[in-house]
Amino acid sequence: MAITEAVHIGADELPFIDIGDGSLLRVLQVKRGEGLWIIENIFKAGYEVETHKHTGPVWGYTTSGAWKYKEYDYVNRAGSFLYEPAGSVHTLQCIEDNTRVWFQMYGSNTNMDAKGNITSVVDGQMTLDFYLAMCEAQGLPSPKVLVE
């Protein structure tokens, strides 16, 4: 069913889950038919996301802290906007505590080892399932994720 009115979700309706080392994640929206997933992370310095390739485009907006990709020289800081085309490959590294980033993604992330072998594939539905399970496991209230 298509949403026909504006939807407001309060900050307290989407708890953050711990994804390791104190870094946090929350899922804001998943549109299954479009392959869209929107997440927000708060990373601690030293957190690293394994090397991955996107099957669809990604938009990222940093609201605090700093992070980079191993493969590039630029650093994303508060106010930075990043566009990643489908097929881009990179390894996210967080370089400051309390680094807060929103990602809007289409498709999936194909995660790879150092030799380029696929180790896993993650998409919006898998991320949503993980988020919901971790909310329950961490004793958090059931989140009001926008799912279509």
Q: What is the CA radius of gyration of the chain?
A: 15
Whether residue 114 lies inside any domain: the answer is: yes
What CATH number is attached to the domain comprising 85?
Answer: 2.60.120.10
Residues 6+ apart with CB under 8 A from 64: 78, 98, 99, 100
Number of domains in the chain: 1
State the pLDDT confidence band at 122, using cuts at 50, 70 and 90.
Answer: very high
> CA 94, 15, 135, 109 torsion: positive or negative?
negative
State pLDDT tens for residues 9-60: 988 899 999 998 889 999 999 999 999 999 999 999 999 999 999 999 999 9
Q: What is the pTM of this model?
A: 0.93
Please indicate, yes or no, if residue 9 is contained in any of the structural domains: no
Domain containing residue 30: 15-131
- 33 φ/ψ angles, rounded to the nearest 5 degrees: -65, -25
Q: How far apart are CA 113 and CA 118, in angstroms?
A: 7
Question: Do the domain assignments include residue 112?
Answer: yes
**Position 35 in a domain:** yes
Taking only the tens place, the pLDDT of each residue in 69-95 is 999 999 999 999 999 999 999 999 999
**Tokens 């869209």, residue?**
36
